[in-house]
Amino acid sequence: MIASALAALALAPWSHPLAFGHLAGWDTGRSGNTRSAYVGHSQREATPLESAAWIARGVRYLDDPTADPPNKTLQHLPRQAVIVWAVIHSPVESGQKPIRLALNNAKHFACCEASYVAGGEWELTGSGRGRAYSVIARIYFGSRPTGAMRAEAQRALNRLQLPPPR
């Protein structure tokens, strides 16, 4: 009985897969829980898990929800399109600070492996609630982001529903 209760607590973040809440004019999708490609430096967990989700405006999302980056979709990214993609994974990276889902804190990178993205890639990383998992959020803009595009992306980030901790 105690062992099953402890196992349930360890899986608590995975009982609510990552998702974006509804936002008018945006499409969403998610993977549910899958085996993680983000094992990290620590191998403490026997079966590391991940859960990915996306929200997109102005473009049809063509990739599997776990595609990082979503190259098929990015190859056809219109100028005013915005995609916010996120993943949670176990285990938590050592020394990670809690994530702040604020676009103003995002790091900007040129993007991507298989296709040029005019607005680049913006990335936020950190630990999830209760340090129960790691979080990566990536934002893609079809053109250099205007203030309005950045505000839309922030509204989408605000809809990211991080699971509860253990």
Cβ neighbours, 10 Å, residue 47: 7
Which H helix or E strand runs over 105? Answer: none
pTM for the full model? 0.87
Residue range 127-165, pLDDT digits in tens: 998 888 999 999 999 999 999 999 999 999 999 999 988
Q: What pLDDT does 90 receive?
A: 85
| Cβ-based neighbours of 70, under 8 Å, separated by 6 or more | 54, 61, 62, 63, 83, 85, 140
- pLDDT tier at 34 (50, 70, 90 boundaries)? confident
Mean pLDDT, range 18-23, rounded to an integer: 97
